[in-house]
């Protein structure tokens, strides 16, 4: 049976909300069509944006958008994310590029801010992504069945370079520097968390991708697969001599395969398989998490974390006639363990649910989503977001 809160890994539950919040900020403005479709405050109409994206290349031929995004999840609560960006084409053969800002605030007092850029050039062969952010988050952290109210602050910097050598295959490298501080909102910090009160890490990742989807926003056919291999170092100090102060190194791996099959005239069957593994020396915020590594619905991303994870999820997505309304029926199962050899004995964690969809634009296939998920223990959670989980 997998332990829900192993004390020697208890601190691994802490920083995943920080990473998720900061990573989400540049994403608000790095996907041009998604932000355009969901924006209610954009400076141009959808018709103008569509023609602008298909028009002349050049920085001065771009468009400005602002996109408010309601959110809800079991870790940070309910709130609003706001993304604003400038969209433009560097050359005719490339996807639109974006430079933008993002902010997030929820009803439990959590907030995050970030700036990011996604640049596509050389006829769509090359892309560069960069982002920086800061977050101050509040959430409950559990040891066994005992909750601890946690405040976490931190900063993140990311830089990535990718090359696509044909219509399907791509390879990329990424660097990330993370600085995190953890403390209790009230009372004393449990002794088990003391070693991870403040930690910094630098990681380098190699990513191989294979993508045959017919659409990146709402795919109805094709496969999207990726393998990420990473090396990193961590220290409890942060400064110009970071590399000299590294006191532990680690490796990690994340592999995902998503498949999409059309069903009938409007239905889609989507499947996502995830496998994650990290070494024992991996910092808490880079470990494998059910709900964090795989976007699994039903469990807070801070509840089941370990060195190894496998999960599979399936969803049927349908539309209601020719209206903007749609729906999703989904289910999934996963296991987490302290090693591959222990996965066979680990508890199977499962969840299922239904969701409603509202297409925010007739021009772009972006949905406003409300999902209700129930776990095998009977716990029910609600998610509000824009887009699809996978």
Provide the pLDDT for residue 144.
Answer: 59
Nearest-angstrom CA–CA distance, 369 and 354:
10
Query: Which residues have C-beta within 8 Å of that of residue 249, sequence separation ≥ 6?
Result: 231, 232, 233, 234, 281
Nearest by Cα to 313 from 341, 349, 355, 277: 349
Nearest by Cα to 330 from 310, 348, 315: 315
Nearest-angstrom CA–CA distance, 181 and 137:
11
- What letter does residue 96 receive in the DSSP assignment? P
Nearest-angstrom CA–CA distance, 324 and 171:
36
Provide the pLDDT for residue 242.
Answer: 61
Answer for the pair 317, 326: CB distance below 8 angstroms, yes or no: yes
Provide the pLDDT for residue 182.
Answer: 76
State the pairing for strand pair 248-263/267-278.
antiparallel
pLDDT digit of tens for each residue in the chain (390 aa)?
Answer: 333 333 333 333 334 555 555 544 444 444 433 333 333 233 343 333 343 444 566 677 778 878 788 888 888 889 999 988 888 889 888 888 889 999 999 999 999 999 999 999 999 899 999 999 999 988 876 665 667 788 888 899 999 999 999 889 999 999 999 888 877 766 666 665 665 677 888 999 999 999 999 988 899 999 999 999 999 998 876 665 666 678 889 999 999 999 999 999 999 999 999 999 999 888 877 889 999 999 999 998 878 888 999 999 999 999 999 999 999 999 999 999 999 999 999 999 999 999 999 998 777 788 999 999 999 989 999 999 888 999
Nearest-angstrom CA–CA distance, 93 and 86:
19
| 244-283 pLDDT tens trace | 678 889 999 999 999 999 999 999 999 999 999 999 888 8
Nearest-angstrom CA–CA distance, 217 and 199:
36
Nearest-angstrom CA–CA distance, 348 and 335:
5
Cα 160 from chain centre: 16
CA atoms within 13 A on the CB side of 370: 5
DSSP state string for 285-347: GGSEETTTTS--SSS-TTTSEESEEEEEEEEEEEE-TTSSEEEEEEEEEEEEESSGGGGGGSP
Q: Which domains does the chain have, with CATH numbers?
A: 7-386 (2.40.160.50)
Nearest-angstrom CA–CA distance, 350 and 389:
16
Nearest-angstrom CA–CA distance, 358 and 154:
35
């Amino acid at each position: 049976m997998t332990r829900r809160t192993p004390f020697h890994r208890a601190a691994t539950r802490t920083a995943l909300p920080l990473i998720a919040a900061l990573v989400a900020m540049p994403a608000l403005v790095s996907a041009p069509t998604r932000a355009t479709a969901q924006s209610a405050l954009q400076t141009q109409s959808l018709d103008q944006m569509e023609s602008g994206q298909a028009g002349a290349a050049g920085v001065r031929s771009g468009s400005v958008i602002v996109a408010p995004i309601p959110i809800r999840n079991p870790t940070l609560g309910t709130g609003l994310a706001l993304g604003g960006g400038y969209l433009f084409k560097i050359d005719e053969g490339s996807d639109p590029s974006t430079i933008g800002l993002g902010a997030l605030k929820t009803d439990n007092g959590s907030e995050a801010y970030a700036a990011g850029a996604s640049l596509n050039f050389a006829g769509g062969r090359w892309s560069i992504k960069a982002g920086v952010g800061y977050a101050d988050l509040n959430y409950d952290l559990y040891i066994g069945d005992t909750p601890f109210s946690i405040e976490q602050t931190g900063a993140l910097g990311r830089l990535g370079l990718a090359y696509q050598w044909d219509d399907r295959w791509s390879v990329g490298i990424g660097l990330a520097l993370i600085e995190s501080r953890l403390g209790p909102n009230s009372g004393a910090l449990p002794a088990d968390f003391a070693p991870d009160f403040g930690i910094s890490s630098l990681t380098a990742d190699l990513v191989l991708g294979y993508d045959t989807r017919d659409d990146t926003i709402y795919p109805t056919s094709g496969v999207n697969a990726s393998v990420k291999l990473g090396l990193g170092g961590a220290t409890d100090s942060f400064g110009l001599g970071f590399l000299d102060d590294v006191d532990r190194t680690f490796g990690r791996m994340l592999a995902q395969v998503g498949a999409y099959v059309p069903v009938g005239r409007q239905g889609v069957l989507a499947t996502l398989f995830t496998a994650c593994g990290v070494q024992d020396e991996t910092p808490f915020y880079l470990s494998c998490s059910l709900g964090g590594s795989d976007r699994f619905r039903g469990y807070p991303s801070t509840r089941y974390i370990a060195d190894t994870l496998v999960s599979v999820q399936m969803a049927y997505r349908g539309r209601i006639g020719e209206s903007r309304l749609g729906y999703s029926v989904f289910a999934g199962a996963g296991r987490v363990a302290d090693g591959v050899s222990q996965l066979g004995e680990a508890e199977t964690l499962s969840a299922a649910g239904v969701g409603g969809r509202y297409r925010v634009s007739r021009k772009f296939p972006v949905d406003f989503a409300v999902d209700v998920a129930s776990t095998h223990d009977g716990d029910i959670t609600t998610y509000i977001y824009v887009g699809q989980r996978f």
